[in-house]
């Protein structure tokens, strides 16, 4: 199955999970997965949230940022993958001068 994110509407999610500013996302979801091409402007964040029903995999396409998984900080840059296992909590922050662009998959486990 082909998913063309360029053909999907971009949604603005303000203060996602209590984060700062807005998250912009093009999303596909079915009963098995949520797949997202996302973007955080410089200084924007996705607040801390638990993954109780599935994990999340975030691959950084451009920009820089930080992820905090169970409180531990990780530096994010293009080519880096952040993984939040099921049962854990994480957040995401765009801390560079350009947008943090990422591809994320949340399998429904």
For the stretch 33-84, pLDDT in tens is 999 999 999 999 999 999 998 999 999 999 999 999 999 999 999 999 999 9
C-alpha to C-alpha distance for 14 and 105, rounded to whole angstroms: 20
Please tell me the predicted confidence (pLDDT) of residue 27: 97
Taking alpha carbons only, the member of 16, 68, 57 closest to residue 33 is: 57
- CA–CA gap between residue 70 and residue 42 (Å, rounded): 23
Tokens linked to 108: 């429904």
Q: Which domains does the chain have, with CATH numbers?
A: 10-107 (2.60.120.10)
Residue 31 Cα to chain centre, angstroms: 19
Q: Rounded to two decimals, what is the model's pTM?
A: 0.93
Short-list 96, 52, 90, 56, CA closest to 73: 90
pLDDT band of 108, cuts 50, 70, 90 = confident
């Amino acid at each position: 199955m082909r998913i063309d994110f360029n053909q999907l509407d971009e949604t603005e999610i303000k203060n996602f999970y209590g984060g700062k500013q807005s998250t912009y996302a093009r999303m596909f979801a079915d009963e098995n997965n949520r797949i997202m091409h996302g973007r955080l402007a410089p200084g924007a964040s996705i607040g801390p949230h638990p993954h109780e029903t599935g994990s999340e995999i975030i691959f950084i396409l451009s920009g820089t940022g930080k992820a905090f998984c169970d409180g531990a900080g990780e530096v994010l840059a293009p080519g880096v993958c952040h993984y939040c296992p099921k049962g854990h909590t994480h957040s995401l922050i765009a801390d560079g001068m350009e947008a943090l662009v990422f591809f994320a998959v949340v399998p429904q486990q």
